[in-house]
Amino acid sequence: MNIRQIDDFYAVSGQITVEDIPAIKEAGFKSIVCHRPDGEEDGQPAFEEIAAAARDAGLYVAHVPVGGMGLTPDAVTGMVDALDDLEKPVLGYCRSGQRSTVIYQAAERARI
């Protein structure tokens, strides 16, 4: 797991695992947003596996997938809603962290 800070309230990472949840909590994150569709890649943990472990650790979670269609208006709206509803700071993840960065930037522009 390679966490990259975007601003005071949001950071991104590539794919996380259930085993990463304690370190994410210890790093001070209050919420996690997954930007990967389930089944995107063989061996990828399902969102619900990550979500269950995160909830058990007292973290909030949201699933705002960004798949092959790219950044859709629905995805941006979902991210705006997630950012409005979730406790901060938030960790967004996808395969590499790129989609999590792009959707955050789009959501921030949409919130203005």
Convert the pLDDT of each residue in 14-29 to its tens digit: 999 999 999 999 999 9
pLDDT at 112 over 80: no
What is the model's pLDDT at position 15?
96
pLDDT at 69 over 90: no
Please tell me the distance from the alpha carbon of residue 3 to that of residue 46, in angstroms, as a whole number.
Answer: 20
The token pair that represents 12 in the structure block: 């991104």
Reported as a pLDDT band with limits 50, 70 and 90, residue 111 is confident
Looking at the DSSP assignment, which residues form a beta bridge with residue 93?
A: 13, 34
The token pair that represents 42 in the structure block: 């063989």
pLDDT at 74 over 90: yes
Tell me which residue of 34, 35, 37, 32 sits closest to 57, measured CA to CA: 32
What are the structural domain ranges in the chain?
4-96
Q: Which string of DSSP letters, residue by residue, matches 22-61?
A: HHHHHTT--EEEE-SPTTSSTTPPPHHHHHHHHHHTT-EE
Architecture of domain 4-96: Alpha-Beta Complex (3.90)
